[in-house]
Structure formats: C-alpha cells, structure tokens
Amino acid sequence: MKRFFDILLSGFAVIVLSPLLIPVIIILKLTGEHYIFYKQKRVGRGGKTFGLLKFATMLKDSPNIGTGDITTKNDPRVLPFGAFLRKTKINELPQLFNILLGDMSIIGPRPLTEKNFSYYSPEAKESISKLVPGLSGIGSIVFRDEEAIMAKMNMDYTECYKTYIAPYKGDLEIWYLHHHNIWIDFLIIFLTAWVVIFPASQLPYKCLKNLPAKPAWMEE
C-alpha cells in the first residue's frame, strides 16, 4: 500500500510541479557553476547505499571544503540561488525521482551520508535500516533548521552533530519505526508543509503527543 501511494503521489507531484522545476533547471544552468543536479551517496534500507538527487546549491567541490558533509548556517560554499532553494526546500524535489525508482519513500527517516550515519547509536542504525528512507520524516521536521541549531551551540559543528543532534534524531527515527502507519505518514506530510510556512511552530509536538521528549539543550 505504501509503495502504491509513493508512486501515485510522487508521479502526481512531478507533473504538478513541472512549471516550477523547469525554471529552476534553467536558472541553475545559467548561474553559479552551471550544473543542475547533485548526486550524493546516502545510506538506504538494509544499509545499502544509493545516489540521492538534489538540485545543486553549493560549490562542486563542497564535500572536500570546510565542514564537509555538514552544512553550517551562512555556509560560504552555498551559491546565491542555492541559498533560496535550500531555505524553501525546493532543492530536495529531485528526490521525487528517487521515490519513483524505489530508492526512497515519501515519508521515512532522512537518508544520511555514511559518515553522519555512523554517528547514530547501534539501536538507531538497526531501526533505520529496517525502513525505506524518506523525502521527509519526523527527524527532518524537528530539525528543519539544523544549521541554525548548530550555530547556536557555539562549538565544533561535527562534534555538535555527534553529541547533540544525532542522538535525539536517532530517537525520533526509532519512534517512527514503532508508530508509523498510513495516517501518521499523511500527518507528517501535512506537518512538513506546515513547518516550511511556520518554522517556529510547535504543532508537530501537539499533533504527535508521544514523541520522545525534547532534550534539555533544545529547550534553552
């Protein structure tokens, strides 16, 4: 059933969003470093890797510059038009083709690079490996502005991700494994759109009352 909805919704979205996708493709071709898509190896179901597609938003050699896999707030590697695409999450839309190919689902744990996946606890890794990764998920809703969160922590970004973000994000993905169903998935789709418009909203915690409690550092 979930695969049926993935194909139906992603195919419909590609058709409906084509008036948006085509201008973005043209602008990317004419600006920045003149490349359109960025493919990055991510960890999928069963621990197998696949090529995740995004619109190009950063310098081509970004993985070998600065903070590597981790993008910081006001990251100098992000191109001007790329900053707009990242803020609106339009840069994620090419993953609709990953969904059509079966690499991803509409909703699931966000697929990470092998390096960032290694920061999860053994329990979180095992749980996430049982699920098809998603275009959106509860982890990506709660950590929608992950870059700003890390900036506030005022510490090394990699250490911040390992020590603070990865543990709680892992708990959220474990929660999803034990609670997901078609209705939860549709609710997460709605909440994904909601937090794009209202990024400071606490609605996810009001709608999903049994989510793992926020760690103290998130309440500060």
Domain ranges of the chain: 2-219
Identify the pLDDT of residue 107: 96
Identify the pLDDT of residue 220: 66
Summarize pLDDT for 140-190 with one digit per residue, the tens: 999 887 877 777 777 887 888 899 999 999 999 999 999 999 999 999 999
- Angle formed at CA 166 by CA 54 and CA 89, multiple of 5 degrees: 25
- Mean pLDDT computed over 209-219: 87
How far, CA to CA in Å, does 82 sit from each of 1, 56, 140, 144? 35, 7, 19, 17
The answer to whether residues 12 and 5 touch, using CB atoms and an 8 Å cutoff, is no
The answer to whether residues 109 and 137 touch, using CB atoms and an 8 Å cutoff, is yes
Summarize pLDDT for 136-152 with one digit per residue, the tens: 999 999 988 787 777 77
Q: pLDDT confidence of 13, banded at 50, 70, 90?
A: very high
- Between 8 and 72, residue with greater pLDDT: 8
Summarize pLDDT for 189-207 with one digit per residue, the tens: 999 999 988 888 899 999 9
- Mean pLDDT computed over 6-13: 94
- Mean pLDDT computed over 1-12: 92
Q: pLDDT confidence of 76, banded at 50, 70, 90?
A: confident
Identify the pLDDT of residue 67: 66
The answer to whether residues 134 and 107 touch, using CB atoms and an 8 Å cutoff, is yes
Give me 55's structure tokens. 């619109």
CA distance 33 to 213: 43
Summarize pLDDT for 32-58 with one digit per residue, the tens: 788 899 899 999 999 999 999 999 988
C-beta contacts of 198-203 below 8 A and 24+ residues apart:
199/144, 199/145
Q: The whole model's pTM is what? A: 0.84
- Mean pLDDT computed over 70-97: 86
Identify the pLDDT of residue 101: 95
